[in-house]
């Protein structure tokens, strides 16, 4: 009797779910909110279920790619009803609000690189930075190794890990030897690399942003061993139900390599270094906590010829670097998520040049709290604040006279940002951002507005336009001149971008104009001692082309990128407006990869070209009028699967042995004939060989390190 009574108390709810044009929606979820009563629509879009609820209730319809529809009424009115739902403005095929950003390893529809590409690109030698230099918008500075973006120097492109600042991202080296990124690509799931027009979440960068994202969850427990011509490494990952930890360590020593291969460098002791990294992950009920720790020690001893003294000078470099990054991501409710974190960095350099000693210490901290709130299906806001503290200390002296200069600079930069994404339709959207920053030394507060418009053009393409203002403090070395009134330097970006993407290929076309002002300028170009002003200015404009094809030819993956750049500045000690020495007008990269199944091998090649760069010849009339020769490089790599968990890897940079040159360096003083002596700048080696043997040990016997090579 009780069961019959309950059945009699139920109310039948039925109807049909359609698109606005009347097309039935199959598989939509429909239910009484706050209860377990509901069903899914059938092949005709119809639904039918019973409920025990009474009175006024909310009938809710959800379907992937469509806006959630809620109807409030008494349950007896939910009978034989027609419910129309419309596509979400944020559906999977909706327009993406982005400009000038290259993404890898995420779900972005505009991703141009896969995580694998960061380590399989020939010539990159497992360096994330080197692989990004095959993308348009970067300038080739092979003897430096850092990121130079669209006419900006390397200082203007900031690097982050999981949204938190990295204070000293590059290894230390001697002049003419390229730097490497400090961090192993194996712990990262992907990157977001922006060459302009980036989010208001990021500040203190005039040219570019590289945000590297660590892996959220380990696949399995495993151990990896690496035996290489330049050293050895070991790594282990331990995975539990909701936690995992990955630890790696490596030792690098170029001494054995230079026993076999001659170098133009006069090493007393070639590069030696030890490094380690660890990342701990804890997946909670509503969030994810990650702790990343990295440490590195490097040592170089070398003799370099000094044009002014006409003799060798002994250079000793000792560098130690430590970095800690802790982040937490949480879903606060069905509308809002939280991202918060803190990073700490310590870098210590001890540099000896004959009897002179320079000690340079940097200590930095960055904290951030950021929220993302979904107001409705058309309106999203990102907002938050961050604070950065940095201390730079210098100590200079000689063995004969002791300390001659000793000082330190502290400053705090506080920022807040608000960014709104509004989708007019799934094909049209706008993003408006505003960032404000206060600099403790400059005692200034400045606003930086940014805006991006995006419009889909058919199913495959979209066009984006962006404008933004960006600010950055001057190079910290000048902050020690405390008798000057300093300001932030400023850049204004204008961008127009077109993207076209299918399952097998994509095309990106972009043109841009970047205007610099408030750049630091010497009062007297011949001396820093006469003070500075902020009348420096400059500009950069150009066009970028990127094309990538995957499996148009079976097993072949390739891309081509080209950049055209015109960049001129009048700043620092420049005598007149001129093209900067780190700018190249033409940059071309061609990358190809192929898996050869019968040989169980993966082969890759990279060809890079850059037109000549300016350099100053004091023996000629004019300023920065000379040009180095064009740069050419073709690199090859081969990975051979000996067995499922053993890999032999071989790579050679500049395989043809192109005789590259980077211009000339000149002495500071002329000789008795009034001529400034010079020296041709060449790569330390015309070719660089690398051989490695890699072993993986895991329960999954198909697991190996092929994806990391």
pLDDT band at 355 (very low <50, low <70, confident <90, very high): confident
Alpha carbon distance 186, 231 (integer Å) = 17
- Residue (of 473, 572, 576) closest to 521 by Cα position: 572
Cβ atoms of residues 161 and 593 within 8 Å? no
Give the sheet arrangement for strand 11-18, strand by strand.
46-51, 11-18, 79-84
Instruction: Give the SS3 label for residue 6.
Output: helix
Is pLDDT of 398 > 90? no
pLDDT attached to residue 696: 82
* pLDDT tens, position by position, 582-596: 999 999 999 998 888
With vertex at residue 529, the alpha carbon angle to CA 527 and CA 533, rounded to the nearest 5 degrees, is 85
Residues in the chain: 709
* pLDDT tens, position by position, 219-264: 788 888 888 888 888 988 899 988 999 998 989 888 888 888 888 8
Is pLDDT of 110 > 50? no
Which residue ranges make up each domain of the chain?
2-84, 101-608+621-667+679-708
Please check whether the two domains, 2-84 and 101-608+621-667+679-708, share a CATH topology. Answer: no
pLDDT attached to residue 700: 66
* pLDDT tens, position by position, 30-63: 999 888 788 888 888 899 999 988 899 999 998 7
Q: Domain 2-84, CATH 2.60.40.1120 — does that match?
A: yes
pLDDT band at 458 (very low <50, low <70, confident <90, very high): confident
Alpha carbon distance 391, 401 (integer Å) = 26
Classify residue 459 as exposed, middle or buried by CB count within 10 Å of its CB (0-12, 13-18, 19+): exposed
Range of lowest pLDDT (131-135, 357-361, 538-542)? 131-135
How far, in Å, are 363, 394, 428 from residue 407 at the CA level? Answer: 14, 6, 53
User: Architecture of 101-608+621-667+679-708 per CATH?
Assistant: Beta Barrel (2.40)
Is pLDDT of 463 > 70? yes
pLDDT attached to residue 106: 40
pLDDT attached to residue 322: 96
pLDDT band at 704 (very low <50, low <70, confident <90, very high): low
With vertex at residue 129, the alpha carbon angle to CA 607 and CA 347, rounded to the nearest 5 degrees, is 150
pLDDT attached to residue 486: 92
Mean pLDDT of the chain: 86
pLDDT attached to residue 3: 40
202-231 per-residue burial string, b: 16 or more CB within 10 A, e: under 16: bbbbbbbbbbbbbbeebeeebebebebebb
Alpha carbon distance 449, 453 (integer Å) = 14
pLDDT attached to residue 323: 96
**Which residue has tokens 């930095």?**
364
pLDDT band at 17 (very low <50, low <70, confident <90, very high): very high
pLDDT attached to residue 316: 92
pLDDT band at 2 (very low <50, low <70, confident <90, very high): very low
Alpha carbon distance 460, 472 (integer Å) = 37
Q: Average the pLDDT over 191-215 and give the result.
A: 87
pLDDT attached to residue 117: 63
pLDDT attached to residue 176: 66
- Residue (of 477, 471, 480) closest to 445 by Cα position: 471
494 or 335, greater pLDDT: 494
Strands 222-228 and 231-239: antiparallel
Is pLDDT of 90 > 80? no
Alpha carbon distance 83, 72 (integer Å) = 12
364 CB-near residues (< 8 Å, 6+ apart): 165, 167, 343, 344, 345, 346, 388, 389, 390, 391
129 CB-near residues (< 8 Å, 6+ apart): 145, 146, 147, 170, 180, 181
């Amino acid at each position: 009797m009780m069961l019959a009574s309950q059945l009699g108390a139920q109310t039948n709810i039925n109807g049909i779910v359609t698109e606005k044009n009347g097309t039935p929606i199959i598989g939509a979820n429909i239910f009484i909110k706050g209860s377990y009563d509901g069903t899914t629509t059938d092949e005709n879009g119809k639904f039918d279920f019973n409920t025990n609820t009474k009175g006024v209730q909310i009938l809710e319809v959800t379907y992937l790619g469509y806006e959630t529809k809620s109807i409030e009424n008494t349950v007896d009115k939910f009978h034989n009803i027609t419910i129309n739902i419309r596509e979400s403005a944020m559906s999977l095929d909706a327009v993406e609000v982005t400009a000038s950003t290259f993404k890898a390893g995420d779900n972005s529809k505009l991703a141009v690189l896969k995580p694998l590409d960061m380590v399989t690109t020939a010539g990159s030698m497992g360096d994330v930075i080197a692989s990004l230099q095959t993308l348009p918008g970067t300038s080739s500075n092979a003897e430096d190794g850092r990121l130079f973006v669209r006419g900006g120097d390397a200082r203007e492109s900031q690097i982050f890990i999981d949204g938190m600042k990295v204070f000293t991202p590059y290894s230390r080296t001697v002049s003419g030897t390229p730097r490497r990124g400090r961090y192993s690509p194996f712990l990262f799931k992907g990157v977001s690399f922006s060459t302009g027009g980036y989010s208001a979440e990021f500040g203190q960068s005039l040219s570019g942003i590289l945000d590297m994202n660590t892996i959220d969850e380990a696949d399995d427990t495993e151990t990896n061993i690496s035996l290489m011509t330049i050293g050895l490494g070991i790594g282990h990952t331990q995975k539990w139900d909701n936690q995992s930890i990955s630890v790696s360590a490596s030792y690098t020593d170029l001494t054995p390599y230079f026993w076999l291969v001659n170098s133009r460098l006069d090493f007393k002791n070639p590069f030696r270094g030890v490094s380690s990294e660890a990342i701990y992950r804890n997946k909670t009920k509503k969030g994810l906590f990650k702790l990343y720790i990295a440490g590195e020690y490097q040592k170089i001893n070398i003799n370099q010829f000094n044009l002014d003294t006409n003799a060798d000078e002994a250079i000793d470099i000792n560098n130690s670097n430590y970095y800690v990054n802790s982040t937490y991501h949480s879903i606060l409710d069905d509308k809002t998520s939280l991202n918060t974190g803190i990073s700490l960095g310590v870098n210590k350099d001890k540099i000896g040049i004959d009897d002179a000693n320079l000690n340079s210490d940097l200590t930095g901290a960055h904290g951030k709290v950021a929220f993302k709130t979904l107001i409705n299906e058309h309106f999203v806001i990102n907002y938050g604040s961050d604070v950065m503290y940095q201390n730079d200390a210098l100590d200079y002296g000689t063995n004969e006279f002791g300390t001659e200069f000793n000082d330190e600079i502290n400053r705090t930069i506080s920022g807040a940002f608000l960014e709104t994404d509004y989708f007019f339709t799934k094909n049209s959207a706008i993003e408006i951002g505003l960032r404000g920053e206060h600099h403790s030394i400059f005692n200034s507060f400045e606003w930086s507005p940014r805006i991006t418009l995006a419009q889909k053009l058919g199913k495959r393409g979209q066009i984006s336009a962006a404008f933004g203002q960006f600010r950055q403090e001057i190079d910290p070395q000048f902050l020690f001149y405390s008798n000057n009134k300093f300001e932030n330097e400023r850049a204004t970006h204008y961008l127009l971008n077109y993207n076209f993407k299918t399952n097998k290929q994509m095309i990106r076309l972009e043109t841009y104009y970047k205007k610099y002002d408030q750049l630091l300028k010497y009062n007297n170009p011949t001396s820093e001692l006469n003070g500075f002003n902020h009348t420096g200015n400059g500009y950069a404009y150009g066009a970028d082309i990127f094309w990538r094809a995957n499996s148009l030819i079976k097993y072949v993956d390739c891309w081509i990128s080209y950049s055209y750049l015109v960049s001129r500045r009048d700043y620092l000690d420049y005598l007149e407006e001129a093209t900067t020495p780190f700018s190249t007008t033409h940059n071309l990269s061609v990358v190809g990869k192929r898996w050869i199944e019968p040989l169980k091998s993966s082969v890759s090649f990279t060809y890079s070209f850059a037109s000549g760069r300016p350099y100053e010849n004091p023996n000629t009339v004019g300023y920065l009028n000379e040009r180095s020769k064009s740069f050419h490089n073709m690199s090859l790599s081969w990975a051979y699967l000996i067995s499922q968990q053993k890999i032999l890897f071989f790579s050679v940079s500049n395989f043809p042995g192109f005789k590259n040159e980077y211009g000339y360096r000149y002495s500071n003083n002329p000789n008795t004939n009034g001529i400034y002596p010079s020296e041709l700048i060449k790569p330390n080696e015309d070719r660089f060989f690398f051989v490695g043997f890699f072993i993986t040990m895991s329960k999954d016997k198909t697991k190996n390190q092929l994806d990391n090579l």
